[in-house]
Amino acid sequence: MYVQTVLGKIPADHLGVCACHEHLYVDLSRIKKDEDTRLQDIEAVIEDLQHFKRLGGQSIIEVTNDGMGRDVTKLQEMSRRLDLHIIASTGCYKDPFVPDEKLTWNRDHLACWMISEIVEGIESTGIKPGVIGEIGSSLNEFKPIEVELFHGAIEAAKQSGLPLSTHTTLGTCALEQVELFQRENLPLNQVIIGHQDLNTSDEIVLEVLASGAFVALDTIGKTNYRSDEDRLRSLLAFIGKGFEDQLLLSSDLTRRSHLTAFGGQGYDVVLRTFIPTLRQEGVAEDVINKLLVKNPQKAFSIHSREG
């Protein structure tokens, strides 16, 4: 079992403590019209990631894809300078972030393009993605281009064996995503359903978990959406129902103001505040090790023949 990083393949058990959904070099300002959403200051990001490393962080799943300001050469530079495992992504995000030239592509075009990046590398860099993501649906619906994106991503996942990581807008459409994967016969243990800490219905998240998919509680520290106390209560409920082997944690930083130096939560927020609170709540160390280490190993391993 191996994971594809920006520096090449590594055994899955070398991942270590892993953040399952982050952005280290991203630009959403074309759509959001907000310069704060241009997080492309490598030195500031490296400085922030040092805190993550000091608390034991060893790996980052970087889900910035085409249309979000992706530059995998910058990820490779950060990986080398920090001695940090970074996994890059292929795919497109969601409407309206899909690049103009791909708006008219159908699922077959999108699948072929993703597969070519997986096999040959991204944009002539030779750097290969280790995850298909983040592939997103809109608030309470799938826009037409998103339907094509999901089908393209499913085909690419089937052919390559790469994990498929999703975006759910404010946690919505999680079950609809699962049902699509089930209809298309993509193994659910190859899927990570994102942003489910923004889904305030524990019942729905439990249904997603019952499908066999991994579930990412990956906006920890973003208390403008939901308090971390509420996130914690939900996580404890999911663990209590026996789903400790399918849960992943992260913080999904996308803005310059999210960095510690600018008053934000920083990439270390999960390790700095959330995990200590879990310990105070009596969560066993072997369960915490699953959330941070064992589950990412399983979730981000390549599942079938090589891409």
Residue-wise pLDDT tens digits, 70-79? 999 999 999 9
From residue 117, alpha-carbon distances to 7, 59, 111, 169 in Å are: 15, 22, 10, 26
- pLDDT for 306 equals 42
- pLDDT for 303 equals 77
- pLDDT for 304 equals 63
Global pTM reads 0.97
Q: Which of 211, 215, 235 is nearest to 299 (CA)?
A: 215
Low-confidence ranges of the chain (pLDDT < 50): 306-307
Which superfamily does 2-299 belong to? Metal-dependent hydrolases (3.20.20.140)
User: Using an 8 Å Cβ cutoff, are 184 and 133 in contact?
Assistant: no
Q: Give me the residue spans of the domains in the chain.
A: 2-299
- pLDDT for 307 equals 38
- pLDDT for 230 equals 98
Q: Which burial class, exposed, middle or buried, applies to 187 when counting CB atoms under 10 A from its CB (0-12, 13-18, 19+)?
A: middle
